[in-house]
Every structure is written in C-alpha cells, then in structure tokens.
A and B are shown apart, each in its own frame.
Chain A
C-alpha cells in the first residue's frame, strides 16, 4: 500500500472559502486524474468549503494583498487561489 498526494487548486470568485469556483486544476500522483486545459466543463466542487467537506485539506490559503500604488486597475492572474490536498492509496484510485 503506497500513499500518494492529489492536489486540487481552486480559484474562487472571492476570498472566502465558500466562494464560487472560477477556475480549477487537478493533479494526481496516485492515479490518472491529472487534468489538462479544457477537459472539464464544470468544477468538481462548488467551492473550497464543499471540497473540504469531501475530505480535501487546504494547504494554501491565499493572502489578501493591497495593490501597489499605480497598479490598482491592472489585471493579471486570478487572486483567490486555494490549494487543497488529499492523500490516498494508489490502488484506491486504480480500482
């Protein structure tokens, strides 16, 4: 029995873990559920809180940063990035 990590990265619409999912990625070292661009039309959970209720543990809680002066209106990467993990046995995923 070998344990491996799964990561679920959720970008939420605001900074609360109960916020709606705006974007998502998933990485699976235990099985074959690593995603790629455009492979899902709907997120696996509605929010980070919903994922927590299903056993995912938050390992990154995004900081809220005040934009630098002069950068208040510049847009870039999505802000509210929650990283969650789950450690599972490899054969559980393969079954």
Chain B
C-alpha cells in the first residue's frame, strides 16, 4: 500500500458482521437469493449504483403501494409499528413477520432488489425509528450524520420511507447530496444552516430515499395541520459490497460522467470528492485499478525503472 492509498478509508479486516456471521448468513443461500433477484430484473443498474456512489443517495418514488402505506400509517397510529428498536445486530429477516406492515414492505420485490444491490440479500438489521413531526411543529433539526464518525469504506444504508404524500410545507427530511464522504461526528454540523444544493424531500406516498450512512440530513418544520411520519431503517452489509447490483444492466448514464458531476457546495474540494468516489467505485466494482480522467492514476504513478548511469551500471553488474 502506498502513501496515497493509505489516506483513503480502508475496508475493515473482518468482512462479515457479528460473531454469528457464518451461521446467520449462509453464503450459498444468499447467493441463490441474489441470483433470483438478478434474474427477475430487480437489482439496480450500473448507472444507479454510480449515482449512489456520487451523490450518496437514491430515490424510489411510490415504490410502496397505497394500500400498504395506509396499513403502515395505521400501524404507527395504533402502535403496531413500534417507534424504534434494534441496536443488537440481528438478521433483518427475523425482525418483522410476513404479515406485519413493515414485513410486507420489506418483502416487496423492488425493495428486496434495492437492498440486495446495496448491502446484500440478507442484510443485518441495525435499528429503526419512526420519526413523527406533529402538525405546526415550528423547528428544524440541526444538520447531522447518524451514529458516530465512521471512516470504513464499506457502507450501511438508511432507508427513509415516507408512507404519506409529503409536501414541502410538511417538511420532509432535508438531505445534502454528496456529503457522504464528509467525516463529521453526529451533530457537529449544526453550525451550518443552508447549503447550495440541499434537497428537500417532497414526494408521493410510498417513496423511499435510500442514503449512505454518512449522509448529512435533518428533519424540517411541519407547517401544515397534518402529522408527518417517516420510517427509518438502518441496515448493515453482511457480504462484501462488490458487484452486488446487476452489472449487466448499464442503465441511463455514463459512469465517468456521473462520478465527475459534483455538487454546487463542494467548491474547491470537488476534485477530492471525485477521488473519494473513485476509491469507493473501486471497492464496489472490485477493480483496484479503475480510474476516471486519471484523477488517481497520476497520484499513484510511481515509476521504478532507472535509465540513468546508476541504472545502467546495475544492469551491467
């Protein structure tokens, strides 16, 4: 490893989370499920994966049908969908039974496909929370990244599921596209109030916004008479996050163009952002030499051949 490589976040030494990894997440079963999802066309395409690496999020409008959205909202109201839980690291598959509204959401084929594409077909449940903002709640949450500062190259995802139509006035979660590589500890970002390029979640019912664990975000005021709820679910990978999407599907967009498209708030750091994206793209493609516009290649260029007198002398000896 050279000096440049050592500056990037490095993968953890242990690839499978949890002491029970081998028993809880059998590789053969996971591969069979992944192949089923791929053959059914349910995995993400390459351009979508590149957009996740570049922007730190993907959005899936109305991916959950209305009947199920209503069941989830009813569950939140009557307590069937609990306000939070987790933090022990059990397999996601055993957390909600098939008949539970959240179990039904997670069983939706497209939802299974996006989860499998990002963190594997049998991910680990980290925690969930129902964020409810009462009607006429006047205050915004400060900008933050969840959990603690986290430099690992492998990423968790957080699914933000909006079971009701969310207007700007209702204050859907505000995210900062392209912030996933910004290493901060939790609420240290509250000193910022606004960014050029910040993105309010305004979406139809049943939308999921899936973010990298490093994404900066904050809840927003609710200026309506309607209570707003968002179900958040954090998932950890249980397999190496290498080529988990459908690499046979190129999708709409060129990977190089996507990874070189920076955010308006990046400013003079934009090239460092691209370098971090390339490092992550190398991880998810398994191609340690992948590069774009020679951003990494020129930094890593470390010629060793000597053709001057000393080199010639050594050849002759």
| Chain A residues at the B interface, C-beta cutoff of 8 Å | 9, 11-15, 19-26, 35-43, 69-80
Contacts and interface: CB of A to CB of B under 8 A. Distances in A.
Contacts of A76: 182-184
B275 interface: yes
Interface of B: 3-4, 6-8, 139-143, 174, 181-184, 188-196, 198, 200, 218, 220-221, 264-269, 272-273, 275-276, 279
Given A13-B267, A14-B267, A78 B7 contact: no
A28 to B, nearest CB: 12
B184 A37 contact: no
5 contacts: A14-B267, A38-B174, A75-B183, A76-B183, A78-B192
Contacts of A36: 139-140, 142, 193, 221
B275 A73 contact: yes
A71 B142 CA distance: 27
Contacts of A25: 191-194
B7 A21 contact: no
A38 B7 contact: no
A39 B191 contact: no
Nearest to B189: A77
Contacts of B266: 13, 22
B20 to A, nearest CB: 33
A71 B275 CA distance: 13
Nearest to A14: B268
Given A14-B268, A37-B218, A75 B193 contact: no
A38 to B, nearest CB: 4
A14 to B, nearest CB: 4
A12 B140 CA distance: 24
B294 to A, nearest CB: 16
A32 B142 CA distance: 18
A42 B195 CA distance: 8
A53 B174 CA distance: 32
Contact of A70 (B7, B200, B275): B7
Given A13-B268, A22-B267, A23-B196, 10 more contacts: A22-B264, A22-B265, A22-B266, A36-B142, A36-B193, A37-B140, A38-B140, A39-B194, A76-B184, A79-B267
Nearest to A34: B193
Nearest to A21: B196
A43 B196 contact: yes
B149 to A, nearest CB: 9
A87 to B, nearest CB: 21
Nearest to A11: B192
A75 B140 contact: no
A24 B183 contact: no
B186 to A, nearest CB: 13
Given A15-B268, A37-B194, A75 B7 contact: no
Nearest to A74: B183
B217 to A, nearest CB: 9
Contacts of A22: 195-196, 264-267
Contacts of B193: 23-26, 35-40
A19 B221 CA distance: 31
Contact of B194 (A43, A72, A73): A43
B282 to A, nearest CB: 13
A37 B269 contact: no
A77 B174 CA distance: 18
A90 B125 CA distance: 52
A57 B256 CA distance: 43
A42 to B, nearest CB: 8
A60 to B, nearest CB: 12
Contact of B267 (A19, A70, A73): A19
A74 B7 contact: yes
A9 B200 CA distance: 22
Contacts of B4: 73
